Amino acid sequence: EAQVTQNPRYLITVTGKKLTVTCSQNMNHEYMSWYRQDPGLGLRQIYYSMNVEVTDKGDVPEGYKVSRKEKRNFPLILESPSPNQTSLYFCASGQQINSPLHFGNGTRLTVT
């Protein structure tokens, strides 16, 4: 089954404790992206990747890191999480520019 898999689904952590949210897709998509969703703000792009070893900042990259060592994986790293990073995070992948993005099921992160 074609899918984007994110883990974990829920995560509660404390300020400053490094964490990684994993994302994997099995559709051989070149394009992958991370979004955060906050009430009243919709979804905002954090980072994206056009292909292996190619990553770029989105609209809200501060406090986040990503890597794309393999085509299928695109982890999101929070080196020192802060409470303002409490949010619902989505990983997505897609092929050409005008094709729909496929989303993972989301990761609800709470930083206390």
Partner 1 sequence: AQKITQTQPGMFVQEKEAVTLDCTYDTSDPSYGLFWYKQPSSGEMIFLIYQGSYDQQNATEGRYSLNFQKARKSANLVISASQLGDSAMYFCAMREGGNQAGTALIFGKGTTLSVSS
Binding interface with partner 1 (CB under 8 A): 31, 33, 35, 40-45, 48, 50, 56, 58-59, 88, 90, 92, 94, 97-103, 105-106, 108
Q: Let me know the angle formed at the C-alpha of 33 by 79 and 81, rounded to the nearest 5 degrees.
A: 20
**Could you tell me the smallest distance in angstroms from the CB atom of residue 71 to partner 1?**
16
Nearest C-alpha neighbor of 62 from the set 82, 90, 43: 82
Q: Please state whether the peptide bond connecting residue 8 to the residue before it is cis, i.e. omega within 30 degrees of 0.
A: yes
Query: Of the two residues 7 and 80, which places its CB atom closer to partner 1 in the complex?
Result: 7
**Could you tell me the smallest distance in angstroms from the CB atom of residue 81 to partner 1?**
20
**Could you tell me the smallest distance in angstroms from the CB atom of residue 95 to partner 1?**
11
Measured in whole angstroms, how far is the alpha carbon of residue 103 from the centre of its chain? Answer: 10
Query: Of the two residues 48 and 74, which places its CB atom closer to partner 1 in the complex?
Result: 48
Within 13 Å of residue 91, how many CA atoms lie on the same side as its CB?
A: 27
**Could you tell me the smallest distance in angstroms from the CB atom of residue 56 to partner 1?**
7
